[in-house]
Structure 1
């Protein structure tokens, strides 16, 4: 009985050693595909650059204060050197001040910006055009027919275009003080909402509330540089 138990324990130790070696080899091979990267304290990789200098995966970008403009940081995702999906903007103190969305490396959809206190101050509406095409298509609403859309062919100028409603908020009251309607980059109409001097409690946007709950008491992520050469 003792012999069988000894053999079983020995086999388990061997299996564990083999598994550790496999994980180590797999980890090294994963890192080897990157020309450079940064490693967090939890072992995750950030700011990965492949062998042909393309950014991939989760990234954190830092910008110092320049000519009176405050510094800030961005966190989001790269695919083939282009920003993709949700990107979050922070002050250098860690306050969430913006949520942007990207497609093909260009702003797309509704982007929101906040004060340091978490009050919504601006909403922008963007449409990204596929930079790999000379022409792209967009669906726009027909002003003469409710809830009817038509397809428009647009020459690609290599940048996102303003498309939709832009709203400017009074952070003190939460009221819209100005709105602009853009169609394919053209300002169609501008309206001003009545401004009130009465200050009322303003509810923080849900994105800010969720961010504060998720990061309450957390320390900022630290990382170190890593490189495989190349």
Structure 2
């Protein structure tokens, strides 16, 4: 009896310790640092916009800027996109899905501008007509780059598209010789020698 009680006590203690470890390992999300900047794992709910259904963003912030892989899902949990961010701009491999969960497209996106880059432009004051400087902060300009795989929604058939900094190019320009149809060499006319006709039971007239 004492042995049974001892074993039960050990099991309870072990179960409690394991549960505490599980609770401890669950990462906190939507946290800000002392400067009010978003840090770590975040989940953001986006409501319906101009008739488009809402969705959920999930990913990591570093100093208030998106970093690494971010996922976009419907409120019902269907994955819509997996995007890669660098310094708050799309920059890396991305995957997109149809509303039913089937693959839609995937490929590289690069940012052709540096996020956070500051430029000064001159604007005309409408009241005085004088030009005055104004500083603008760029958020990057994400464009498609390299091979993109695009999938038909009904058949799932994949086709290839090629891009150079957002401009679509041909397979030849991209250097993908496997996607270029090989030239068809016309067959030479078949000629029969006299002895072949004799063997086949044919007589040459």
State the TM bucket, normalised to the shorter chain: 0.5 to 0.7
What is the rounded CA distance, in whole Å, between the counterparts of 2:26 and 2:96 in structure 1? 31
Say which one has the larger Rg.
Answer: 2
Cα 1:93–1:168 shift into 2, 3 Å: same
Q: Aligned-pair RMSD on alpha carbons?
A: 3.0
TM-score (norm: length of structure 1): 0.49
Distance 1:126 1:44 in 2: 29
TM-score, normalised to structure 2, is 0.54
Runs of 4+ in structure 1 displaced over 6 angstroms?
none
CA distance in 2, matches of 1:89, 1:122: 14
* Distance in structure 2 (CA, Å) of the matches to 1:50 and 1:159: 28
Instruction: Classify 1:186/1:43 alpha carbon distance in 2 versus 1 (closer, same or farther; 3 Å).
Output: closer
**Unmatched runs of 5 consecutive residues or more in structure 1:** 1-39, 135-155, 194-230
Partner residue in 1 for 2:156: 174
Q: 1:111 offset after TM fit, Å?
A: 0.9
Q: Structure 1's 163 and 157: CA in aligned 2 closer, same or farther, altered over 3 A?
A: farther
Instruction: Check conservation: 2:71, 2:79, Cα contact below 8 A.
Output: yes
Distance 2:92 2:49 in 1: 28
Cα separation, 1, equivalents of 2:150 and 2:34: 43
Q: Residues 43 and 168 (structure 1 numbering): CA distance in 2 closer, same or farther, change over 3 Å?
A: closer
Deviation at 1:113, TM superposition (A): 1.1
Pick aligned residue for 1:120 from 75, 88, 103: 103
